[in-house]
């Protein structure tokens, strides 16, 4: 789901949020992007001035400094973020990535477009290397994931981190899209790979992750996320930060586990509670992003959790890889050629029991 924050006159930030999140957020009528960009530009101005002192006569520094000065003048005049060619608003995520741009995507030259395409390809390669090993198993569990970005890069985050005989699993969805969202995804990856080895209590780890993420991102960026761990007895402990509830399949009936907690990075002092579930041998915990349940058919009907559960029925006791393939096929069949507009990620963790 997308919520437009701000006014049409210059800065509209489309934020991807879940229904719950939309209700939780008090959307201010005026986007904070102006103030944010001014702050960024002033920082750059100060850095460039310092650099200029230490390396006199550097023409590139002088050019950048005059561009920053000009951007600040545009902010004062109210023309900042407006394309110089067509006078439409410049895409906000591009402005955040480069506050000095003066043209919207539609008015770039082919050479400029090619350069952006190259950057995206590189980002996509880097992102693929951040994915966990596929078809991951130990004597107690089998795990696999399906990762389908809607564009070249994804704002979804999936991870599996073994630590001290337990398996940590993470599935999340960063607000927004494209390059900015993928940068935040890599930020989450680095953070959890640093936090998990500390062996903290799960809630304490989430509290720290939340604070770190809130401090490192822009004010209106956050992530919905489930972080959990499973041990050799099939005991699962999870914290859910505003994400869709995972489901347990393969037992007598599928169980939906509740959601609690605010998205990561929304408020720097959020606290989290964890919940637990015990998987019987043969049961699978399935986590997914809203790109799965909100996939549309040609009539704009959403796939939804019920269809997801129905589609799983036949393959609930199979290997996670088969289960995921069944789900991916079901979503594709349901869409029936309708355009995809969101990243789609699923993670399946099957508890196989101590003795196979
Ligand atoms: Zn334009």
Tell how far the Cα of 343 is from the centroid of ligand 1, in angstroms. 27
Query: Residue 202 pLDDT more than 90?
Result: yes
Residues 21 and 134 in one domain: no
Q: Tell the burial category of 5 from Cβ atoms under 10 Å away from its Cβ (0-12, 13-18, 19+).
A: buried
pLDDT at 31: 54
DSSP, collapsed to helix, strand or coil, labels residue 143 as: strand
DSSP, collapsed to helix, strand or coil, labels residue 245 as: coil
Per-residue buried b or exposed e for 302-333, using 16+ beta carbons within 10 Å of the residue's own CB: ebebebbbebbeebbebbbbebbebbbebbee
Tell how far the Cα of 14 is from the centroid of ligand 1, in angstroms. 18
DSSP, collapsed to helix, strand or coil, labels residue 161 as: strand
In a domain, 156, yes or no: yes
pLDDT tens per residue across span 81-133: 999 999 999 988 788 878 999 999 999 999 888 988 888 888 888 889 999 99
Q: What is the mean pLDDT of residues 38-49?
A: 87
pLDDT tens per residue across span 48-64: 888 777 665 667 888 88
Q: Which structure tokens are listed for 264?
A: 């990561």
Residues 137 and 104 in one domain: no
In a domain, 41, yes or no: yes
Tell how far the Cα of 112 is from the centroid of ligand 1, in angstroms. 14
In a domain, 124, yes or no: no
Residues 62 and 194 in one domain: no
Residues 155 and 68 in one domain: no
In a domain, 272, yes or no: yes
Tell how far the Cα of 250 is from the centroid of ligand 1, in angstroms. 53
Q: What is the mean pLDDT of residues 283-293?
A: 94
Residues 247 and 184 in one domain: yes
Tell how far the Cα of 91 is from the centroid of ligand 1, in angstroms. 10
Residue closest to 198 by CA, chosen among 159, 133, 206:
206
Task: For the chain, give the mean pLDDT.
Answer: 84
Residues 304 and 169 in one domain: yes
Tell how far the Cα of 104 is from the centroid of ligand 1, in angstroms. 4
Residues 207 and 298 in one domain: yes
Say which CATH number the domain at 246 has: 3.60.40.10
- Cα–Cα distance measured from residue 88 to residue 106, given in angstroms and rounded to the nearest whole number: 10
pLDDT at 322: 93
Structural domains counted in the chain: 2
Phi-psi region of 265 (alpha: psi -120 to 50; beta: other; left: phi over 0): left
In a domain, 310, yes or no: yes
Tell how far the Cα of 154 is from the centroid of ligand 1, in angstroms. 25
Tell how far the Cα of 95 is from the centroid of ligand 1, in angstroms. 13
Tell how far the Cα of 120 is from the centroid of ligand 1, in angstroms. 21
Model confidence pTM above 0.85: no
Tell how far the Cα of 77 is from the centroid of ligand 1, in angstroms. 19
Q: How confident is the model at residue 26 (pLDDT cuts 50, 70, 90)?
A: very low
In a domain, 123, yes or no: no
Residues 147 and 294 in one domain: yes
pLDDT at 315: 76
Domain that holds residue 341: 129-351
In a domain, 116, yes or no: no
Q: How confident is the model at residue 248 (pLDDT cuts 50, 70, 90)?
A: very high
Q: How confident is the model at residue 209 (pLDDT cuts 50, 70, 90)?
A: very high
Residues 156 and 91 in one domain: no
């Amino acid at each position: 789901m997308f919520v437009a924050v701000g006014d049409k006159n210059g800065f509209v930030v489309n934020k991807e949020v879940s229904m719950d999140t939309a209700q939780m957020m008090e959307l201010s009528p005026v986007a904070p992007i102006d103030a944010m960009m001014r702050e960024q530009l002033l920082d750059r101005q100060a850095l460039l001035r310092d650099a200029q002192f230490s390396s006199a006569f550097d023409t590139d520094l002088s050019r950048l400094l005059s561009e920053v000065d000009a951007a600040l003048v545009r902010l004062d005049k109210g023309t900042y973020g407006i394309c110089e060619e067509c006078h439409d608003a410049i895409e906000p995520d591009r402005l955040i990535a480069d506050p000095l741009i003066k043209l919207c995507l539609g008015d770039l030259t082919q050479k400029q477009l090619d350069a952006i395409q190259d950057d995206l390809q590189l980002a996509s390669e880097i992102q693929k290397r951040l994915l966990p090993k596929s078809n991951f198993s130990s004597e107690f569990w089998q795990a696999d994931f399906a990762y389908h970005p809607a564009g070249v890069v994804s704002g979804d985050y999936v991870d599996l981190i073994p630590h001290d005989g337990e398996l940590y699993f993470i599935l999340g969805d960063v607000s927004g899209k494209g390059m900015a969202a993928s940068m935040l995804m890599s930020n989450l990856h680095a953070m959890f790979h640093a936090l998990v080895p500390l062996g903290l209590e799960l809630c304490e780890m989430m509290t720290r992750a939340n604070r770190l993420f809130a401090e490192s991102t822009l004010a209106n960026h956050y992530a919905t996320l489930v972080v959990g761990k499973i041990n050799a007895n099939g005991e699962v402990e999870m914290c859910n930060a505003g994400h869709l509830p995972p489901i347990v399949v393969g037992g007598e009936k599928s169980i939906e586990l509740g959601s609690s907690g605010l998205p990561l990075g929304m408020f720097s002092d959020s606290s989290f509670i964890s919940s637990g579930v015990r998987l019987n041998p043969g049961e699978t915990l399935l986590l997914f992003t809203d790109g799965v349940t909100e996939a549309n058919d040609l009539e704009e009907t959403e796939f939804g959790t019920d269809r997801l559960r129905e589609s799983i029925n036949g393959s609930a006791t199979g290997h996670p890889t088969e289960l995921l393939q069944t789900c991916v096929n079901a979503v594709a069949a349901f869409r029936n050629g309708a355009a995809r507009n969101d990243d789609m990620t699923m993670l399946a963790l099957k508890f196989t029991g101590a003795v196979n």
